[in-house]
Structure 1
């Protein structure tokens, strides 16, 4: 699978572990954002990942910043992106299954490396639920806003 991986400076160290893990699992990784621990603005990492998914060059995305909050807020500004900030394997499964999330967001200052990698695997290994109720809700998420 082609996976876009983006981070800011706070997420750089964890992103290295995530990238290595993804490659070990046989995925093709394209990097966006910080390529070192030098200061990097997280919205720019989110922009790169979101645009790569929307243009079809990448299938899923992973974004990492200190808390995971900033990257998720920015990514969710893009129509067609459903970025989920996950803090457990269960939230990752539900994000994929029920909400059809296409971007996993992680907090490098919140999660241990082992937990982050377990969350990543849960996200990747969970199929979206194509049942009518979930499809309808995803359509509502992606549809027109009432105000």
Structure 2
């Protein structure tokens, strides 16, 4: 089982709560970084709270959500060491783990159905980074870009 950080803005609160409960029911530990209701919040704040947990290795993986998943993924990716992938289907979730060793997943409540999101989460959490040296080199180049900033 894993320790998973989760965060969302008001546009994805319903999905976050449903996915959080699914993960807890499956035996995972969930660290909920907010938001905690449907009142308006700023997605960059939510993204940073979860991304910091992932970057500091306080959780194994992170899941963030907003209306589309776009804004919150952009914000999460500003944290050094984060590779947050916006996924709209299970193929994207599988490939981002296999090729990019993504450590955070982003999804959108307004763009992707809840059952698809649940399938994406399962795929993301259960797919290992497995594509070997050519992808390790590419990930190292991503880290080098971060380090040059």
Q: Please tell me the TM-score bracket, short chain as reference.
A: over 0.9
SS of 2:32's equivalent? strand
Deviations 1:95-138 (A, max 9, x none): 11100000000001001110000000010110012511011011
Cα separation, 1, equivalents of 2:116 and 2:96: 16
Cα separation, 2, equivalents of 1:30 and 1:144: 29
Indicate the residue corresponding to 2:61 in structure 1.
60
User: What is the correspondence of 1:21-36 to structure 2 with a 5 Å cutoff?
Assistant: 21-36=22-37
> TM-score normalised to the size of structure 2?
0.95
In structure 2, list runs of 5 or more residues that go unmatched: none
Contact in 2 for aligned 1:33/1:40 (Cα 8 Å): no
In structure 1, list runs of 5 or more residues that go unmatched: none
User: What is the correspondence of 1:58-97 to structure 2 with a 5 Å cutoff?
Assistant: 58-97=59-98
Cα separation, 2, equivalents of 1:84 and 1:144: 17
> TM-score normalised to the size of structure 1?
0.96
Indicate the residue corresponding to 1:101 in structure 2.
102
1:142, CA displacement in angstroms?
A: 1.3
Indicate the residue corresponding to 2:116 in structure 1.
115
Task: Spell out structure 1 runs of 4+ moving beyond 4 A.
Answer: none
Contact in 2 for aligned 1:33/1:44 (Cα 8 Å): no
For the aligned residues, what is the CA RMSD?
1.3
User: What is the correspondence of 1:7-46 to structure 2 with a 5 Å cutoff?
Assistant: 7-46=8-47
Q: How many residues align?
A: 147
1:26, CA displacement in angstroms?
A: 1.1
Give yes or no for the alignment of 1:124 onto 2:132.
no
Contact in 2 for aligned 1:86/1:119 (Cα 8 Å): yes
